[in-house]
Structure 1
Amino acid sequence: MPKLARRLAALLALSLLAFAAHAEGVKDLPWQVGPTKVQVGSHASLDVPAGYAFLGPDGTRRLDVIMHNPPNEADSYTLAPESLDWAAFFSYDDVGYVKDDDKLDADDLLKSVSEGTQASNAERRKNNWDTISVEGWKTKPVYDTTFKSLTWSFIIRNDQTHHESINYNARLLGRSGVMSAIVVASPTKIDTAIGEFKSAVGGFAFNPGQSYSDFRSGDRVAEYGLGALIVGGAAAVAAKKGFFTVILSALAAGWKLVLVGFAAIGTFFKRLFTRSKA
């Protein structure tokens, strides 16, 4: 067997063992299976529908370790469908009331995001992880004045494998801060994932008195506007969710050894949901 082929075979074998270990670790996380109502931080709640599972901060931190995600100081929460075709990560930023009257320049924002992503790759190199790049917009930023939500999505590329995936972002504005939601999926499944995500978070609500419309004179106002939410949010995606992005894009590319690892997780999820119905 040629030397390169032997190295590739060894790498694939290690990948299989690693993802099998990931599956074993993921199945032991404290998943809360829907239908159930959960708190998303101290400012909001979510009705988790049937067919979905939810992780609180402790479980999400353990998931980050399993998936080799850089640590996040803020509490984060995970929502995943039974299929595991995508995952959503929630976090709340207590920055104050964000004014929504600034204009969004997509070109300038993309440039800032790309530069921030490259800077964040220094941390990835320290851990010997693949670096990532922002290839461009999948959908440019759109602000919904009725629901006070800002959404956009990036095309993310793994610089080493060249696999692409999509990070869909939503920022839900509240009285005292912003709820962040990041949906990670492969390019072939992102449209379905976004539709399922929007349906699944129909039961999301800020707690009484914490909605954007509850703002009163004298409340703390954030030092930045909508544009900064995109730049800051993108840095968080690059630094924290890049590895999970690579995993999901690999699934779409047909890496069968990777699929084996996630098939184990998917099998566990099916058993988990079956037990919850018993």
Structure 2
Amino acid sequence: MKNLLLITLAFFSLTAFGQIDSTATNLEFDEAAYQKALDSINNSFNFQQGKITLGVDLATLSVPTGFKFLDGEQSQTVLTDLWGNPPSECLGMLFPEKTDIIGENFTYAIEITYSEEGYIEDDDAEDIDYDDLLEEMQESALEENDRRSAEGYPTIEIEGWAAPPYYDNETKKLYWAKEIKFQGEDINTLNYNIRILGRKGYLNLNAISDMDQLGLVQQNIDQVIASTEFNEGYRYSDFNPDFDEVAAYGIGGLIAGKILAKAGFFAILLKFWKFIAIGVVGVFSAFRKKIFGSKES
């Protein structure tokens, strides 16, 4: 399934736009061929339900009711070959059950990854002023904008918390959501983050979509948070100070993304599905309306 997007675009360009008549003034959009190309992609993936082992016995995911799971290999095909992201290690993805990978009914998806950056001490969790932390993050984003513009990326602004950070000391789970404004976009972006702390790092469940999907994401977020646990040997409580490394940051640094920012986090944030999965169909639809007009016209 390598380079699915390129194959689809080639197929679409050859079949979906019909023929130019002798006067070269009449183009016909083939809706059936267009939908066939999308269906071909969506039907080529095999989803799973039930209990899923993530990594090499790293963690267990109990697929929440109303969701479907795509394994790591297929998820990499989606993220890299279909959506055009740089290669990266992915444990899998969760999709709402009625959501296609690509199409007009796409809402959001959750990528699951693991970062082995050490045991994250949570002593600072109760002392963090999240308003101050937000201001710091907003300033960092603005400082990155000159570089983003120079590299051809749109500028971004963090508008605020879409959901303020919350750390559950019992389950060692942290979650928050940001509202982000991308230059040139009418609808702001929702970036919903879930971190599950473990012995040597953390699991990252990350969803990016439009802000108008916030209600849908929040409707299901509790069961998504509860769905994933580290297995024995990798749990937070399994930490051994004699052998295990401690991360260079705590809860505040994890939320602020200090380490990620140094690695160019704000430069790569736009890689996700707001611009790819939703955007591909949006581009086709806009192009169709602009060039061909409506059926009535």
Q: TM-score, normalised by structure 1?
A: 0.70
Q: Does 1:215 align with 2:239?
A: yes
CA distance in 1, matches of 2:150, 2:40: 27
Q: Using the alignment, how far apart are the partners of 1:107 and 1:19 within structure 2?
A: 46
Give, in whole Å, the separation in 1 of the partners of 2:146 and 2:62. 36
> How much does 1:80 deviate?
0.4
User: Is the CA contact 1:87–1:183 (under 8 Å) kept in the aligned structure 2?
Assistant: yes
Structure 2 unaligned residues grouped into runs of 5+: 1-28, 100-106, 289-297
Q: Are the equivalent residues in 1 in contact too, given 2:144–2:266 (CA < 8 A)?
A: no
1:151 and 2:166 equivalent?
A: no
Which residue identity lines up with residue 57 of structure 1 in the other structure? G
Shift in CA distance, 118/39, structure 1 to aligned 2, threshold 3 Å: farther
Which residue in 2 is equivalent to 1:271? none
AA aligned opposite 1:104: I
Of residues 92, 100, 104, the one that matches 2:122 is 100
Paired with 2:38 and 2:196, the residues of 1 have a C-alpha distance of 31
Q: Partner residue of 1:270?
A: none
Deviation at residue 125 of structure 1 after TM alignment: 7.2
Q: Find the counterpart in structure 1 of residue 252 from structure 2.
A: 227
Q: Does the CA-based 8 Å contact 2:90-2:111 persist in structure 1?
A: no
Separation in structure 2 between the aligned mates of residue 125 and residue 19 of structure 1, nearest angstrom: 38
Map of 2:97 onto structure 1: 82
Report Cα offsets for 1:194-250 as digits up to 9, x if no partner: 331321453322111221122233122112111221232676586245541346887
Among 199, 203, 213, which residue is 2:223 paired with?
Answer: 199
Amino acid of the residue matched to residue 54 of structure 1? F
Larger displacement relative to structure 2 (53-62 or 151-160): 53-62
Q: Would the aligned equivalents of 2:119 and 2:246 in 1 still touch at CA under 8 Å?
A: yes
| Cα distance in 2 between the residues matched to 1:202 and 1:153 | 17
The residue correspondences of 1:171-210 to structure 2 (distance < 5 A) are: 171-210=195-234
CA separation of 1:62 and 1:117: change in aligned 2, threshold 3 A = farther
**1:39 touches 1:45 (CA, 8 Å); kept in 2?**
yes
Instruction: Letter of the 1:186 partner, please give it.
Output: D
> Percent identity among equivalent residues?
29
Structure 2 counterpart of 1:68, from 70, 84, 95: 84
Residues 126-163 of structure 1 show CA distances to partners (whole Å, capped at 9, x for unaligned) of: 5x665543222212222111211111111122311232
Which position in structure 2 is the counterpart of 1:41?
55
Which of structures 1 and 2 has the larger relative contact order (alpha carbons within 8 angstroms, sep 6+)?
A: 1
Question: Which entry has the higher C-alpha Rg, 1 or 2?
Answer: 2
SS in structure 2 of the partner of residue 245 of structure 1: coil
Q: CA 1:20/1:185 → structure 2, altered by over 3 Å: closer, same or farther?
A: farther
Deviation at 1:166, TM superposition (A): 1.2
CA RMSD of aligned residues (A): 3.7
Q: TM-score, normalised by structure 2?
A: 0.66
Q: Distance in 1 between matches of 2:145 and 2:59?
A: 30
Q: What 5-or-longer segments of structure 1 have no aligned partner? A: 1-12, 261-278
| From 70, 73, 88, the counterpart of 1:55 | 70
3-state SS in 2 of match to 1:223: coil
Give the number of aligned pairs.
Answer: 238
Alpha-carbon distance change, 198 to 111 in structure 1, aligned in 2, over 3 angstroms: same
